[in-house]
Structure 1
Amino acid sequence: MRVVFLGLAVPNMNEYHNMFTELVVEFRNNGHDIMVVAPTYDEKVFGMQVEDGIPTLRVPTLELFGVGKIQKGLATLLLPYQYKRALKKSKIDLNFDLVMMPTPPITLVNVASWLKRKYGSKMYLILRDIFPQNALDLGMMNPKGLAYTYFRKKEKEMYFASDYIGCMSPGNIDYVIRHNPEQNANKLHLLPNWAWLQPNLGQQEIIKIKDQYGLLDKFIVVFGGNIGKPQKMENIVALAKSCTTNKDIFFLIIGGGNEKEYLDRMILREDLSNVRVKDFLSREEFFKVLQIADVGLISLSENFTIPNIPSKSLVYFNARVPILASVDLNTDFGTHLEAIGAGLWAEAGKTKKLKEKLMYLYNNPEKRKKMGENGYQYFKNNLLASMAYENIISRVTNT
């Protein structure tokens, strides 16, 4: 099968992989002729490249990450025109059997629809962000504004254009159907997040890392990943503040994002000596450091009305770390987490309840170990990249 993947967050695959490029590799390893289209911000690296043996068309675009919302909006609007022009100029045979695109961004549906019309390709949508509703929830758009109206229309076009839609959770499926009743519900199916299984460290290696961080005698709570409005870092700071009398509980936050400076100011203002913020580590280094954690933190804003499923849960599962989640009431992540016995959750913004759940984990080391092992086994049995590939290909070839 000839496949093209229209991506946005696509690292240089010669250097490392993320969730989406792992899926691309699975397609390649299963004998498919797959190509990637992705942005480049390096004026020296553009056009057709070969990354980890995969043809990758790097398209010069405006910067899409770590910029203001006006520039990001403009870059997102220009993206499909830049991709389409690059594909036309590439002299590549564009007669693909399957076009895959994840969200974000939704504007790439223009490219997918063009390929569908011109070559009769099928389109598979990997629905991760439900945009523009997520931006609306975070106060980044006006519900009566032109931007929201435009992107909501584009979202509906994307669903109509898709032949198959893979959703992160049952809650995601229900949400899309409920808010888009004109769409064909049979297009939607469950496609949970996925990752490759990584080998865990031995106990001596874990102790060595704890020593390097000066945390040998601490109960370590780790948050890793993006630090932005969706993560509502105020809730983590409030939890840390509530734990200042527990001298052995320590919070290690690893990552970066638009809210990192704000987070630093909050920690300084509250004079929190039990919190350390460290910049992004490589994926491999973060996985190693995560294994010193007694608890892995997940935080989502209580303002969300869409059911988000945080992809960082997979690395926590892989590391055998029990999860404590501060999440909104509209996601089914918390209830799923407790159903598989891999952690606990509390409603975002309810610091007292979240502290109670943390102290339960603190006081029950055997329960923590069991939850960590449950998460690991669930990941290994349900959430591998090879399983996501099989899920997609069975849907595409059997319908």
Structure 2
Amino acid sequence: MKKIIFLALGFPDASKSTNIYTDLIYEFHKNGHEVLVLAPAVNKEDIGLRKEAGVSVLRVKTLPLFNVGAIKKGIANLLLARQYKKALLNNNIELDFDLILMPTPPITLTSVAAWLKSKTGGKLYLILRDIFPQNAVDLRMMKDKGLLHNYFRKKEEALYTVSDAIGCMSPANVNYVKEHNPNMDFSKLHLLPNWENLPVYKEEIQLDSLVNKYGLKDKFILIFGGNIGKPQKLENIVNLAKNCLDYPEIVFFIIGTGTEKERIFNMAKELKLPNVILENKLPKADYNNLLRIADVGLISLSEDFTIPNFPSKVLSYYGNKIPVLASVDLQTDFGTILEEINSGLWAEAGKTGELKDKLLLLYNNPDLRRTMGQHGYDYMKNNLLPDNAYNTILEKTIS
């Protein structure tokens, strides 16, 4: 049994909801390891050390980190390392960890991760899910080679140096880090694809009530659920919907929140698109059941990226045997991997006509949809479950 600390940013109470990080941490817990999670407190009453679904979680008071402006978010992230270190000391946490797990974002926890490594002698494993600050430059949130960029670039380089092993989402991610960090130790880099538990449904799907509730009778459903921000650039999906008005049975169901939500929702409303359904949030049961009856799962990435992103959202589609339609930039290898797995179709972001052609190919071929959905499910079952990530991390850090 090993003692592990996880430096989290987004870590929900697993008794209420889950994400890829709760799935991973509970895989460690299930296998008998002692885990402590450091994470922000959502509410004042959450502050402090407590058990969440059997795992020790130290919730830390921070400034607002989500759904705030870039300046406020930046200040909050800069203060995190000091707040996390202070919380560990104030709660008399024994610093004897064998493994320190840290995902990006953010990279601002580098100093506390390095401090923990020096205090404990444990290995530091970096779960690289956000190549910052370059993604901020791509999205025009930061000036290339400016003072802020240079500051965070040094943080990024320091993080790669102090990490003992670095798990990247895809081959393109590995190659990007190598190309832009030629002086680092390349032996640290390896593949750590996204992971998620397969869905388990105990209740029978209430298809008729769900269809009536959202007006989906006799509709061909494309679904997008998740963050609506600059990286997703959902204008590409709204423009696709605009170009599909000649197929009234095709509907685009968009659910989510984020910094660009109001603008995207307003865009769809101003265009008066009858084939777009917009929802901020849905009951969890409704969303899960929508995934079960959806015909296609949507992925969208901004064409402005120079870094290769890889959307974790695809796992919920794979788990529900839904084929994927993706509008993505040319830096990511997501489209190539879709083709290799034969689990969906893609077009270059911004090329609405090409994306519509791919959609109509799925629309007109139910057998193709079933085949692609099954291929995605099989690939996830064999390669993208939490135990795959767990085993990779242990193999790279603990002999």
How high is the TM-score relative to the length of structure 1?
A: 0.97
Report the Cα offset of residue 7 of structure 1.
0.3
Superposed counterparts of 1:17-166, under 5 Å = 17-166=18-167
The 3 A distance-change label for structure 1 pair 94 and 182 is: same
SS at match of 1:231: coil
Report the counterpart of residue 262 of structure 2 in structure 1: 261
SS at match of 1:221: strand
Sequence identity (%): 55
Deviations 1:229-264 (A, max 9, x none): 111111011100000111111111011111111012
The 2-side partners of 1:95 and 1:280 are apart by: 41
SS at match of 2:293: coil
Deviations 1:337-364 (A, max 9, x none): 1110100000000000000000000111
The 3 A distance-change label for structure 1 pair 286 and 204 is: closer
Greater displacement, 208-217 / 221-230: 208-217
User: Are the aligned partners of 2:95 and 2:119 in contact in 1 as well (CA < 8 Å)?
Assistant: no
Report the counterpart of residue 387 of structure 1 in structure 2: 388
Report the counterpart of residue 192 of structure 2 in structure 1: 191
The amino acid across from 1:191 in the alignment is L
Deviations 1:8-29 (A, max 9, x none): 0011223122110111111011
Report the counterpart of residue 350 of structure 1 in structure 2: 351
SS at match of 2:46: coil
Report the counterpart of residue 341 of structure 2 in structure 1: 340
SS at match of 2:44: coil
The amino acid across from 1:354 in the alignment is L
Greater displacement, 34-43 / 318-327: 34-43
SS at match of 1:65: coil
The 2-side partners of 1:120 and 1:217 are apart by: 60
Report the Cα offset of residue 331 of structure 1.
0.1
SS at match of 2:4: strand
How high is the TM-score relative to the length of structure 2?
A: 0.97
The 2-side partners of 1:376 and 1:207 are apart by: 25
Report the Cα offset of residue 203 of structure 1.
8.6
The amino acid across from 1:362 in the alignment is Y
Unaligned runs of at least 5 residues, structure 2: none
Greater displacement, 170-179 / 193-202: 193-202
Unaligned runs of at least 5 residues, structure 1: none
Report the counterpart of residue 368 of structure 1 in structure 2: 369
The 3 A distance-change label for structure 1 pair 54 and 201 is: closer
The 1-side partners of 2:67 and 2:238 are apart by: 23
User: Are the aligned partners of 1:206 and 1:291 in contact in 2 as well (CA < 8 Å)?
Assistant: no
User: Are the aligned partners of 2:5 and 2:35 in contact in 1 as well (CA < 8 Å)?
Assistant: yes
Deviations 1:155-210 (A, max 9, x none): 00000010010110011000001100111010011000001111358996345422
The 1-side partners of 2:287 and 2:162 are apart by: 38
Greater displacement, 36-45 / 23-32: 36-45
The 1-side partners of 2:275 and 2:267 are apart by: 13
Superposed counterparts of 1:288-307, under 5 Å = 288-307=289-308
Report the counterpart of residue 221 of structure 1 in structure 2: 222
Greater displacement, 196-205 / 32-41: 196-205
Report the Cα offset of residue 318 of structure 1.
0.5
SS at match of 1:265: helix
The 2-side partners of 1:8 and 1:189 are apart by: 23
The 3 A distance-change label for structure 1 pair 350 and 99 is: same
User: Are the aligned partners of 1:14 and 1:51 in contact in 2 as well (CA < 8 Å)?
Assistant: yes
User: Are the aligned partners of 1:200 and 1:319 in contact in 2 as well (CA < 8 Å)?
Assistant: no
User: Are the aligned partners of 1:124 and 1:162 in contact in 2 as well (CA < 8 Å)?
Assistant: yes
Report the counterpart of residue 287 of structure 1 in structure 2: 288
The 1-side partners of 2:326 and 2:368 are apart by: 16
CA RMSD for the aligned pairs?
A: 1.4
Report the Cα offset of residue 127 of structure 1.
0.4
Report the Cα offset of residue 47 of structure 1.
1.3
Report the Cα offset of residue 142 of structure 1.
0.6
User: Are the aligned partners of 1:138 and 1:304 in contact in 2 as well (CA < 8 Å)?
Assistant: yes
The 2-side partners of 1:188 and 1:84 are apart by: 27
Greater displacement, 162-171 / 283-292: 283-292
Report the Cα offset of residue 265 of structure 1.
1.4
User: Are the aligned partners of 1:218 and 1:248 in contact in 2 as well (CA < 8 Å)?
Assistant: yes
The amino acid across from 1:194 in the alignment is W
